Structure 1
Amino acid sequence: MQILDWIILGSTLLFIVAYGAWKTKGSKDVKDYILGNNEAKWWTIGISVMATQASAITFLSTPGQAYHDGMGFVQFYFGLPLAMVFIALFFIPIYHKLNVYTAYEFLEKRFDLKTRSLAAILFLIQRGLAAGITIYAPAIILSSILGWNLNWLNVIIGVLVIIYTVSGGTKAVNVTQKQQMFIIMSGMFIAFYLLLSYLPSEVTFSNALQIAGVNEKMNLLDFSVNPNSRYTFWSGITGGFFLALSYFGTDQSQVQRYLSGKSIRESQLGLLFNGFLKVPMQFFILLTGVMVFVFFQFMPVPLTFNPTSQKAVEQSIYKEEYQNLTLQLNEIHEEKKVITLNYAEQLNIDVDNPTLRKRMIALNEKEKNVKEKAKKIITSLNQEANDKDYVFIHFVLHYLPTGLVGLLLAVILSAAMSSTASELNALSSTTVIDIYKRNLKTVKSDNHYVTASKFFTLVWGIIAILFACFGTLVENLIQLVNIIGSVFYGTILGIFLVAFFLKFIKGNAVFYGGVISQLIIFVIYYQCIHIYPSGKEILGYLWLNAIGAALTIGLSALIQMMQKNNT
């Protein structure tokens, strides 16, 4: 990194922190601090909802996911627009009518305190873990790429977020996320434009898509009904729908974004705005990853994009074997570069040469085999063999011009700060409103709860930093966050669906139904997903959302009927 990169990176982050703290200082009461005094317009809500979900993991891992596995991951989001419509029609009017600060307040009014506490605690566990991951994700990658100290990076990212989130609460989160999304999307569009400009002159955008297609990177839709396939049309529409329904409808980090709306209509429009733009945004980020793949058909590609793993191998007894694999990869790459360029030239005269196409596929298979051998060496040294999270940052640091490197690093850190701020804000609100205030025996002033909210924001910020410092990278990060959510969201969603639509079910039944359902989901996750780290699970993790919701609803109804028969 050059001095200009440091200036751009530092000034961008400091501006966000200073602007957020200055613009929102001096919250008057709990409503102002937690709900931003219900002043948010629909576009602010929409951007804030989108920015909350679009963490650094999105911009680090998603391009790498597409580089390795193609565009199929976009199917994960197919259920999201449907979920936005459902929440806008059913959830938002009820939340606004009851004038709640958190989603879980509604559960006590509908059921009882223990059910409210169960949902709140499940949220605090999974969102507390996620907050640590959103800090840890960019920190570990930037640490390995740039040689920075991992723990210091965790602390720096966490402290920057804590400063303005403690200062201004929900309003600070909403205000800063608009600036952050502008920086994030500007950086991604610039990176995409430069990717296309770096391709050989013979390779048009249309040609690039066809080259990607030959290498099976453009398979958008999978209509198979195989339950162990992670991303299919059906898992996206069903499992993705339930995940989005639970995340946007019951997760306080999202609910708090639209509870701050001026009216029901503003909140509904904000969610629909997110539903309308989210799939195209993810499609674009995945397409950026596919273009990175096409770019590396013409540029040298390493055996692994993870510099820490590479360094470990080079200092091991496998150094010579690894160097031989590198030579094999380089030979394959040189031939592939010529073949791919010839294929593009033939496309320019409307000829899709089948011989060249077959040769490209064969070379790609040979490259995969060489990389698999390298992965076995890396794994034998107890190093991380999965390098999906390092692909895009490798391109940024090695191929972007001075100044833009700083901007793209600012994009990554801004996304981390944006998502973490929402999480800390929601964790604090839930802790204060659903746990602390609800269990106090004496009445306290509004000022007391504002102070308590700031204190718990600080506490959760410290917990997230500590978790990030002691965390371990066990999955592709974009998948890890969604797996954690899928383990908990189904049960929480089931409780809310019972509350909204099954009036005959009472508090005891839904509480015990939720507890049993969550325990069953833990068992299913461990037996069918956790023990298959390669991704070839017995059951794709997205199905946990639908299963968890169905189990909670079914068990609650069964327990209620049993209780009725015993009386």
Structure 2
Amino acid sequence: MHSFGVLNWTIVVSFLVANLALGYFLGRKVQSAKDYYLGSRETPWWAIGISVIATYVSALSFLGGPAWAYSDGLSALAIHLNYPLVIFAVITLFLPFFYNSGVASIYEYQERRFGPTSRSVMSLIFLISQALTTAAILYATAIVLQFVTGIDVVWAIIIITIIALIYTAMGGMLAVIWTDVFQAVVLFVGAMVIMFTLINNLPVPLAEALAGLKAEGKLSAVVTDPDITRPTTIWSGVIAMTLFHITVYGANQMMVQRTLGAKTIGGAKKAYLLMGFAAFPIYFLFFFVGVLCYAYYGGKPFENDNEIILSFATEASIPGLMGILTAAVLAASMSTLSSAFNSLATVSIVDFYKKFSDVPEGQGHYLKMSRWLTIFWAVVVIIPAIMYSNTEGSILEVLSKIGSFFVGAKLGMYALGFFSKHTTEKGLLVGVAVGFVMVWYVASYTDIAWPWYCAIGGGTNILVSIIASLIWTGRQKDWSPYSVVGQRQKFAASGEAIAQDGWYRLPGMVDRVSWLLLLFFAASIAVLLLLEAIV
């Protein structure tokens, strides 16, 4: 792209240098493997919360969100309405187990609850699914570089990987969090600039454009059609995708790992609460930009929908706009990549290398190996990233489909760990295997929409695991101390305080502020219904 210009290049290079410099400065504080995984445990909760948001809201949302809304309208937003419900469940059930235990890998819970094999299975599922997810993020970022410079997408993928790898190896989790804060500001400023520029450049007044969008059904965000073959309905969003996102935020090492570095459990919970309240307006912004693009372009088809926002930024011809957009997407995505590389290395070390190697323990050795494994995973994700380059639909939708094959197993394993008395490791592993087969069958031989794969896989896993456990090992006399009931018994017997600074440490206890999440969820649906009604 020869018209990119000196100003735009200056903006992009300045942002990249600022991120690398910040990563280098904070990375000097990394003295041990624990620092590399969790940071200093002195990071304020709001920084961790912004980091959680920035990690999940990356180029996939900036490019894929509008691309999805361009084709499906605001109905695609139904997939992301559930975050208040998701965060309610995560901070009530998941976080207390993980934070109280002081673990670096959340999959250590599986070993304590069921046994070492289940831990290894869960860790392996994470490594595979996260590698595929990271590859999708890498590809989405490569689209930007290809669009801007004209460089082949394969070379763009390789270049971005090298840059993100250098940044990650220097920084550790502390640098990841603080650069996320900086990059989130850049990303959302860029999104707001794009939205207002779109509104000012619409071929007709905004009110007229919205009326036209309504007539074509593009503003119908709450679709009550009970058809389970349709992916973007209120039922798939509220039921199926709530279960999906609970595993993304509650059973995903990359998301939970940064909260384990909070000063207190209250800080960890507040970090997640920030996502619970911020997710809806953020995703509404990205999807609303998509429908505005539909109005701007008159619904014309694109060879690759993920380039819609980039095409508009080019056509707007506002000095520096393309540079701001490119820098925002690149910076946010490399932040997400660095988080992913860090968590992949953490799980590889904690769940496999430490357990199965005979190397004497030493923080210096593990820090060195963590960095080598960071390099390994950066190389691995290049392969599926190149494969994604043949994808023409929304990369955000593609990513969600891929993730749906894995989350059912995670959902079932944690649900059984929390609430089942009689499930044992042998039965659990049978359930996981049958659940995968069921999801494969549904995906291959039925028209059921992908958001339901998690519920189907998780439900199958739970049912089969319980039956297999009862047949194989029989009824258990006592509750596991790592179940919700077992935790209640443990706290009662020890006299340990169930709360710290007003925040519950005991799993299953609902913090007062969490009830506001449910009110916010209802208000979000009301806003969407009102939007369509008043246009």
The answer to whether the 8 A contact 1:59-1:412 is kept is yes
Once the two structures are TM-superposed, the CA of residue 480 in structure 1 deviates from its matched residue by 0.9
> 1:485 pairs with 390, 393, 403, which one?
403
The answer to whether the 8 A contact 1:74-1:282 is kept is yes
Partner of 1:396: 313
1:351-370 → structure 2 map (5 Å cutoff):
none
Q: Which secondary structure state, in structure 2, belongs to the residue aligned with residue 27 of structure 1?
A: coil
In 2, distance between residues paired with 1:477 and 1:458? 25
Partner of 1:225: 226
Once the two structures are TM-superposed, the CA of residue 24 in structure 1 deviates from its matched residue by 2.4
TM-score w.r.t. the length of structure 2 is: 0.85
Partner of 1:108: 111
In 1, distance between residues paired with 2:23 and 2:262? 19
Partner of 1:258: 259
> 2:448 pairs with 530, 536, 539, which one?
539
1:12-161 → structure 2 map (5 Å cutoff):
12-140=15-143, 142-143=145-146, 146-161=149-164
Letter in 2 for 1:232: T
Partner of 1:561: 470
Partner of 2:344: 427
Q: Which secondary structure state, in structure 1, belongs to the residue aligned with residue 441 of structure 2?
A: helix
The answer to whether the 8 A contact 2:422-2:474 is kept is no
Q: What do residues 290-313 of structure 1 show as CA deviations (whole Å, max 9, x unaligned)?
A: 11222224xxx8x5433xxxxxxx
- Is residue 2:367 matched to residue 1:450? yes
In 2, distance between residues paired with 1:72 and 1:44? 31
Once the two structures are TM-superposed, the CA of residue 260 in structure 1 deviates from its matched residue by 1.6
1:205-244 → structure 2 map (5 Å cutoff):
205-244=206-245
Once the two structures are TM-superposed, the CA of residue 212 in structure 1 deviates from its matched residue by 1.6
Letter in 2 for 1:460: W
Q: Which secondary structure state, in structure 1, belongs to the residue aligned with residue 450 of structure 2?
A: coil
Change (3 A) 1:43 1:565: closer
Partner of 1:305: 302
Once the two structures are TM-superposed, the CA of residue 250 in structure 1 deviates from its matched residue by 0.6
Q: What do residues 134-186 of structure 1 show as CA deviations (whole Å, max 9, x unaligned)?
A: 11123145425642122221122111211121112111210111111010000
In 1, distance between residues paired with 2:473 and 2:361? 40
Q: Which secondary structure state, in structure 2, belongs to the residue aligned with residue 542 of structure 1?
A: helix
1:174-193 → structure 2 map (5 Å cutoff):
174-193=177-196
The answer to whether the 8 A contact 1:424-1:461 is kept is yes
Q: How large is the RMSD of aligned CA atoms in angstroms?
A: 1.8
The answer to whether the 8 A contact 1:56-1:414 is kept is no
Change (3 A) 1:517 1:540: same
Once the two structures are TM-superposed, the CA of residue 504 in structure 1 deviates from its matched residue by 2.0
Partner of 2:481: none
In 2, distance between residues paired with 1:186 and 1:471? 28
Partner of 2:494: none
Q: Please say which structure displays the higher CA radius of gyration.
A: 1
- Is residue 2:168 matched to residue 1:170? no
The answer to whether the 8 A contact 2:65-2:394 is kept is no
In 2, distance between residues paired with 1:257 and 1:73? 29
Once the two structures are TM-superposed, the CA of residue 246 in structure 1 deviates from its matched residue by 0.4
> 1:416 pairs with 333, 337, 351, which one?
333
In 2, distance between residues paired with 1:141 and 1:525? 31
Change (3 A) 1:279 1:473: farther
Partner of 2:517: none
- Is residue 2:356 matched to residue 1:439? yes
Letter in 1 for 2:431: G
Once the two structures are TM-superposed, the CA of residue 430 in structure 1 deviates from its matched residue by 0.6
The answer to whether the 8 A contact 1:70-1:218 is kept is yes
Once the two structures are TM-superposed, the CA of residue 565 in structure 1 deviates from its matched residue by 5.3
Compare 270-279 and 21-30 and name the one that shifted more: 21-30
In 2, distance between residues paired with 1:8 and 1:150? 22
In 1, distance between residues paired with 2:389 and 2:222? 32
Partner of 2:507: none
The answer to whether the 8 A contact 1:102-1:255 is kept is no
The answer to whether the 8 A contact 1:61-1:477 is kept is yes
Q: What do residues 476-504 of structure 1 show as CA deviations (whole Å, max 9, x unaligned)?
A: 20111111111101111210111111132
In 2, distance between residues paired with 1:467 and 1:484? 12
The answer to whether the 8 A contact 2:138-2:157 is kept is yes
Compare 264-273 and 146-155 and name the one that shifted more: 146-155
Partner of 1:501: 419
Q: Which secondary structure state, in structure 2, belongs to the residue aligned with residue 70 of structure 1?
A: helix
In 2, distance between residues paired with 1:15 and 1:130? 26
In 1, distance between residues paired with 2:256 and 2:445? 32
In 1, distance between residues paired with 2:326 and 2:389? 22
Letter in 2 for 1:305: F
Once the two structures are TM-superposed, the CA of residue 472 in structure 1 deviates from its matched residue by 3.8
In 2, distance between residues paired with 1:62 and 1:565? 48
1:274-353 → structure 2 map (5 Å cutoff):
274-297=275-298, 304-306=301-303
The answer to whether the 8 A contact 1:17-1:161 is kept is no
TM-score w.r.t. the length of structure 1 is: 0.80
> 1:467 pairs with 367, 384, 397, which one?
384
The answer to whether the 8 A contact 1:509-1:557 is kept is yes
Change (3 A) 1:197 1:514: same
Change (3 A) 1:85 1:565: closer
The answer to whether the 8 A contact 1:91-1:249 is kept is yes
Q: What do residues 7-50 of structure 1 show as CA deviations (whole Å, max 9, x unaligned)?
A: 11111112112211222224122221101122222211211111
Task: Give % identity.
Answer: 28
Structure 2 residue ranges without an equivalent (≥5):
477-535
Letter in 2 for 1:555: V
Q: Which secondary structure state, in structure 2, belongs to the residue aligned with residue 38 of structure 1?
A: coil
Change (3 A) 1:410 1:486: same
Compare 288-297 and 255-264 and name the one that shifted more: 288-297
Compare 464-473 and 225-234 and name the one that shifted more: 464-473
Q: Which secondary structure state, in structure 1, belongs to the residue aligned with residue 219 of structure 2?
A: coil
Letter in 2 for 1:495: M
